A = this chain, B = another copy of it.
Amino acid sequence: MSAKIPVGVLGATGAVGQKFIKLLEGHPWFEVTEVAASERTSGKPYREAVSWKQVTPIPESVQPLQVKPCTPDLKCRIVFSGLDANVAGQIEEDFALAGYVVLSNSKNHRMDEDVPLVIPEVNPEHLGLIPIQRQNRKSTGYIVTNANCTTMFLAMALGPIHKEFIIQKVFMVSMQAVSGAGYPGVPSLDILGNVIPYIGGEEEKVENETRKILGTFNGRSIDPADFQVSAQCNRVAVEDGHTESVSIKLANKATAAEIARLLRDYEGIPQKLRLPSAPERPYLVMDAQDRPQPRFDVNRCNGMATCVGRIRPCSILDFKLTLMGHNTVRGAAGASILNAELIKAQGLLE
């Protein structure tokens, strides 16, 4: 008999679902007791239902779990959703209405007015939307979302900078890994030796989500941050790790060294509370002028930090910098899990 909190994974056989199961293996607080997916695989043991694409084996305890349909009668308190956007909207609402705490990695509810879009190191106070959401929707459960995988590293890096120096403009060009498109995702014929300068809907997500995350909770809703973001998103032949070339304009005077120090020394709530999935430091500031690089740095800090490098003056705005992070860990499943840890640590599971 385990004293851990039972959790379920929605969309458990997909790319994000698999990552949830992998990252939750041996988690000190949570235990995967339910796996749910599309009707097609319902009833099978997980090990047969899934086409497992992780570099470590399926956790022993999850292998025999029977895959259930995504209906709100799972035996657990928390569900992690790695559902496709075309079904996530309704299913996540149904679970919340039925009393579940839904940690969603899907885009559907991120911009809902009463749904928190949270990076624990940056805007934990946005969890203040939870009681409002419950009241609005007359439900005991609720939905908490994490950022899109490209937004994540941008908004996370900008968080402390915005607090200290006030951001006024943000340019971002991304070079995104193929794992961000799920499985089967990007055909090899499209990406070998290639760059695809378009990812549907991604630029809008980055531009909107970043302003919500860095926005202010006014006690009832979020006032989005008062700056513009211009995003251009490209796909490259990288397995894991999104790289971002960023340029920012600040209201307050700063030096590159001050920004580097600010990020290097930063401690957020997850670090202070020593949440199990929190990286020791949220930002890995790298001095070598050719870092970060996805192949060499993507798994640093268990894939949960945002790597920052090349902070230098910009001839148009104020500073240029390079960001990189693990798009399916900190940029997806790991983010949801850290959100769940924050929720528990703040007593919001009661």
Query: Chain A: residues with CB nearer than 8 A to chain B?
Result: 53, 55, 169-171, 173, 175, 178-179, 183-198, 207, 228-230, 232, 234, 236-239, 241, 243, 245, 247, 289-297, 299-300, 309-310, 314-317, 320, 322, 324
Contact = CB atoms under 8 A, between A and B. Distances in A.
A55 B189 CA distance: 12
Given A194-B293, A295-B193, A245 B230 contact: no
25 contacts: A171-B171, A173-B173, A175-B234, A175-B236, A179-B189, A183-B189, A184-B190, A186-B189, A188-B237, A189-B239, A192-B295, A193-B193, A193-B295, A194-B238, A195-B236, A195-B241, A195-B243, A195-B294, A197-B292, A207-B315, A229-B315, A229-B316, A230-B314, A232-B245, A236-B237
Contacts of A193: 192-193, 237-239, 294-295
Given A184-B184, A189-B53, A194-B294, A243 B238 contact: no
Nearest to A313: B230
A55 B234 contact: no
A322 B183 CA distance: 25
A236 B192 CA distance: 11
Given A236-B236, A237-B238, 14 more contacts: A171-B171, A183-B187, A187-B187, A188-B191, A192-B193, A192-B239, A193-B193, A193-B238, A193-B295, A194-B293, A194-B296, A197-B293, A197-B322, A234-B243
Nearest to A314: B230
Most buried by B among A55, A187, A247, A294: A187
A310 B186 contact: no
Contacts of A183: 187, 189
A237 B234 contact: no
B192 A175 contact: no
Nearest to A190: B188
The 6 closest A-B pairs by CB, nearest first: A184-B187, A173-B173, A194-B295, A198-B290, A232-B245, A197-B322
Given A175-B195, A188-B187, A169 B316 contact: yes
B171 A178 contact: no
B185 A186 contact: no
Contacts of A297: 55
A315 B55 CA distance: 33
Contacts of A232: 173, 245, 247, 320, 322
Contacts of A316: 169-171, 228-230
B309 A197 contact: yes
Nearest to A15: B189
Contacts of A234: 175, 243, 245
A76 to B, nearest CB: 29
Contacts of A237: 188, 192-193, 236-238
